[in-house]
Amino acid sequence: MIKVAIVDDHKMFRDGVTAVLNQFKDLNMIWSSSNFKETYECIEKKIPDVLLMDLTLGKESGMVLSKVLLERYEDLKIIAISMHYEESYILKILEIGAKGYLLKDAGAEEMVNAIKTVYKGDTYYSNYVSQVLIKHITKGTRPKDNSIVIPLTKREIEVLTLIAKEYSNPEIAKELFISIRTVDTHRRNLLDKLQVKNTAGLVKHAIKFGLLEV
């Protein structure tokens, strides 16, 4: 059972999301809140596995709230939900540490998929957000010569290439005929060796090393 919570200042939207998630036996909406105060009170009682975070909470900022929560609850998995298509919003919340970004016009199926994907330890971006992210990280990252030395093993390069192509851990395991646990190990090693914090950082290095066509 995946424990889910939502922070959004529109009750109708919160109720709608709750109604959708309640249709799935493996998802449990444990609480909803509309502002900072309510969120602090709720999360102290029950910490969700996945938190859906609206970026605009009336006069308050979902970005600020996300940053504060992640500093206190490092393992909290946040998916930003927003009507903002602007690159600045997308990049800022991902830099803060959100594991996903959904536009509010996303369908129920995509939202459920995003929650389950993030819960498993992967990141989830809608198609539009992925395009924005790739466009941003390719700026000035393509090497001008072949002098870059890749400090990775052959297998790590294979895993990195598939991560950059948006393969999930199970899909990588199937493609390379290895266990999901082995994929997890390679992913952690990649994060450590390349000194990045998330999938976006890994994709940036994949492009830098010429492993991803853009």
Residue 134's pLDDT is 62
- With the CA atoms of 160, 91, 131 and 55 taken in that order, what torsion angle do they form, in degrees rounded to the nearest 10? 120
Give the lowest-confidence range in 48-57, 154-163, 183-192, 196-205: 196-205
For residues 132 and 93, give the distance between their C-alpha atoms in angstroms, rounded to a whole number: 13
Helix (H, G, I), strand (E, B) or coil at 81: strand
Residue 133's pLDDT is 66
Q: Residue 9: pLDDT band by 50, 70, 90 thresholds? A: very high
Specify the long-range contacts of residues 95-103, CB closer than 8 Å, at least 24 apart: 96/63, 96/66, 96/67, 96/70, 97/66, 97/67, 97/70, 97/197, 97/198, 98/53, 98/66, 99/123, 99/124, 99/198, 100/124, 100/125, 101/125, 101/126, 101/129, 102/52, 102/126, 102/129, 103/128, 103/129
Who wins on pLDDT, 143 or 64? 64
What is the reported pTM? 0.66
Tell me the mean pLDDT in the region 4-17. 95
Residues in the chain, total: 214
Residue 188, pLDDT > 60, answer yes
Residue 208, pLDDT > 50, answer yes
Q: How many CA atoms lie within 13 A of 46 on its CB side?
A: 17
Who wins on pLDDT, 126 or 60? 60
What phi, psi does 124 have (nearest 5°)?
A: -135, 125
Who wins on pLDDT, 211 or 64? 64
Surface-to-core class of residue 43, CB atoms within 10 Å of its CB (0-12 exposed, 13-18 middle, 19+ buried): buried
Indicate the CATH number of 142-208 among 2.40.50.140, 3.40.640.10, 3.30.70.20, 1.10.10.10.
Answer: 1.10.10.10
Q: Dump pLDDT digits (tens) for 71-91.
A: 999 899 999 998 877 777 787
Residue 209's pLDDT is 63
Q: Start-end ranges of CATH 3.40.50.2300 in the chain?
A: 2-135
For residues 159 and 172, give the distance between their C-alpha atoms in angstroms, rounded to a whole number: 7
Residue 70, pLDDT > 60, answer yes
Residue 148's pLDDT is 45
Residue 178, pLDDT > 80, answer yes
Q: Dump pLDDT digits (tens) for 112-151.
A: 999 998 998 888 887 777 767 666 655 544 444 444 445 6
Residue 150's pLDDT is 53
CATH number of 2-135: 3.40.50.2300
